Structure 1
Amino acid sequence: MLVDSHCHLDFPDFDGERDDLIARAHEAGVDLMVTICTRIRKFDQVLAVAEQYDNVYCSVGTHPHQAGEERGIPASEIIELAKHPKVVAIGEAGLDYFYDKAPRDAQEEGLRIHIAAARETGLPLVIHSRDADDDMAAILEDEMGKGFFPALLHCFSSGRDLALKAVDLGLYVSFSGILTFKRSEDIRAIAKELPADRLLVETDAPYLAPQPRRGKRNEPAYTAMTAAVLAETRGVSPEEIAAQTTDNFFRLFSKVPKHLKVSKPADTSAGAA
C-alpha cells in the first residue's frame, strides 16, 4: 500500500474523471490520498471531494501564493474548520520566494498563523518552502521554541541544511516527482541520507509528474513511480519503501484511521464532479 500524501483533486484538471482517477490509483497500489487546500475561502470545494470518497482526506489552509488575498484569517477559524472528520492536516502554508506572488511579510504571517493552528489541533502542518531556506529554518526553530507542532516539508526541493534542520526539529520530509528528474542528483542524495522514519511520498498532482511522465498531467497513481525511485536511491525494495512511508504517514497524519478499510469508489455517476 502507498499513500499520496499531497495532491489537489479539487482542481479543474480532474473534472469529470475523478472516479476513474481514484480507480487508477487503486490499481497502482495507492490506496489513500490527501487532497490539499490552497485557499480557505474555497475549502468547501476541497472538502466536497474528500467527502465523496472513503479513501480521500483533506487539509485546510492558505498557500503562500494566496497569503496576501487571505490575509487576516485567524487561527481560530482554521481550527474550527479542522474539526471536520475528513480534515487531517493544516495547510498548505509556507514561504515561496521563487514566484513571490504574495508579500513576504504576508507569507510569514500566514505561516505562523497556520503553525498556531497545527499546534492547537495536533494536526500536521503541510509546509510549502521554495527558495526560502534560511527564513524557513529560522521561523521553524523560533516557533518550535514556543511549543512543538507536527509538520512536514512537502514536495522537497530545498537544500540539505533545511532538510537536516527540519528532521532535527521533529519534522518529516515528503518527496514528489522532482526526485525522479535527471538533474535532481542533490535531492536524491538528501533522500538517501535522511532517516527512514521521516520519509513520505506524494504527487502534488496535477503538477510535477515523475519520469517518464514528466511534462504531462500528474495523478495519484504516479506516486508509485516516485516511490520506486526512492527505493532505488536508498537501496531497498519498493515493498520496503511502501511499508515505511505508509507507516510514517499514519504516524504523522494520526487523525486518519490506522486500520482504514479502503473500499472501491462508490458509483457517483449521478452527481460526480
Structure 2
Amino acid sequence: MTPDTAPPQLVDSHCHLDFPDFDGQHGDLVTRARAAGVMRMVTICTRLQLEPQVRAIAEAHEGVFYAAGTHPMYAAEEPLVTVQALTALAAHPKFVGIGETGLDYHYTADSARAQAESLLVHIEAARRTGLPLIVHSRNADDDMAAILAREHAAGAFSCVMHCYTSGPALAQVALDLGFYLSMSGIAAFPRSTEIREIFAAAPLDRVLVETDAPYLAPPPYRGKRNEPAYVVHTARAGAALYGLTEAEFAAATSANFDRLFTRAAGPAR
C-alpha cells in the first residue's frame, strides 16, 4: 500500500478491548484496525478491579492507550472509588483519561445518588491530573447538565461526552463548557436524524469518533460485534455530515483527539 492509497488515519477514542467478546483476539483486532487506518485507540476500564487486565492490553500493543473508572451502571455495586486511587493510575504513561463515569437512568435510575457521588470523585481526579473526564450520560440530561456546569465553575476540567445520544440542550451545555462530543456508530443509523442534527450543529473542532466496541456497530455491520476497525464507517458518515472528504474529517477528528487526550497525541507507541 503506497502513501497515496493508504486509508486516512483515524482514532477510536472509546472501546472496550477487555470485554469477553475479544478474548484471545487482541493482536488480530489491532492488526485489522491498522489495516483500516485506525492507528490509535483508547480501551476503557469500567470497573477498577479490572484495571490490571485493561492496562496489560495497552502495554502489549502499540497504539493502544487506556482509561479507567467506575461506569455509572456499576456505581451501586462497586466500592466508591477514591480520588487517590484514580490519580495514582495517572503515573502510567499509557493512562490517558478518567472514566468512564457519569449518569445512567435508563436501567439504573434507582442508584442515581451513588452515580452522582461517584461522578464527583472522577471529576476531582480529572481536575488534579489534568486528564480528560470521559462521561457516559443516558436519560439524565438535566442532572448531568447541572452537575457539569456547577463543577466546572468550581474548578475547570476537560471532558468528552462519549457516544453522544442525549438531547440538544445537554450538548449545548457541554460545548459551552469547552467539552467534546464523541460520535459513535449510532450516528450512522438511518433513523438517528436528531443525533446527526446535533453533531451538524456542533463545531467540527469539538467532535471525536469512537466505536464503543463491542457495542453499536455502524452499518454495514449493525447488529454484529463491533471492533475498532469499524470506526471508519462512522467517520464516513461524519464526513458526509460536514461536507468533507473522509481524509479531511479523519484529520480533523484526530487533531481534536490529540488536543484533548494529550498523552496519546502524536505517533502511536
Aligned 1:48-63 pairs, distance under 5 A? 48-63=56-71
CA distance in 1, matches of 2:48, 2:212: 18
For residue 267 of structure 2, give the secondary structure of its aligned residue in structure 1: coil
For the pair 1:32 / 2:76, whether they are aligned, the reply is: no
Among candidates 251, 254, 267, match of residue 260 of structure 1: 267
AA partner of residue 127 (structure 2) = R
AA partner of residue 223 (structure 1) = V
Give the superposition deviation at 1:71. Answer: 3.6
CA distance in 2, matches of 1:96, 1:227: 26
Higher mean alpha-carbon deviation, 93-102 vs 33-42, is at 93-102
TM-score (norm 1): 0.94
In the other structure, the counterpart of 1:114 is 122
- Which runs of no fewer than 5 residues in structure 1 stay unpaired? 263-273
How far does the alpha carbon of each residue in 1:184-222 deviate from its partner, in whole angstroms, 9 at most, with x for none? 000001111100110000000000000111000000000
For residue 58 of structure 1, give the secondary structure of its aligned residue in structure 2: strand
AA partner of residue 70 (structure 2) = T
Aligned 1:106-185 pairs, distance under 5 A? 106-185=114-193
Give the superposition deviation at 1:261. Answer: 4.4
Instruction: Percent identity, please.
Output: 55
How far does the alpha carbon of each residue in 1:238-266 deviate from its partner, in whole angstroms, 9 at most, with x for none? 1111000000000000112x33246xxxx
How far does the alpha carbon of each residue in 1:142-199 deviate from its partner, in whole angstroms, 9 at most, with x for none? 1011110010100010001111110000100001000011110000011111001100
CA distance in 1, matches of 2:179, 2:204: 13
Aligned 1:1-273 pairs, distance under 5 A? 1-100=9-108, 103-256=111-264, 258-261=265-268
For residue 70 of structure 1, give the secondary structure of its aligned residue in structure 2: coil
TM-score (norm 2): 0.95
Q: CA RMSD of the aligned region, Å?
A: 1.0
Give the superposition deviation at 1:54. Answer: 1.5
Contact 1:66 1:102 in 2 (8 A): no
CA distance in 1, matches of 2:109, 2:143: 17
- Which runs of no fewer than 5 residues in structure 2 stay unpaired? 1-8
Contact 1:64 1:102 in 2 (8 A): no
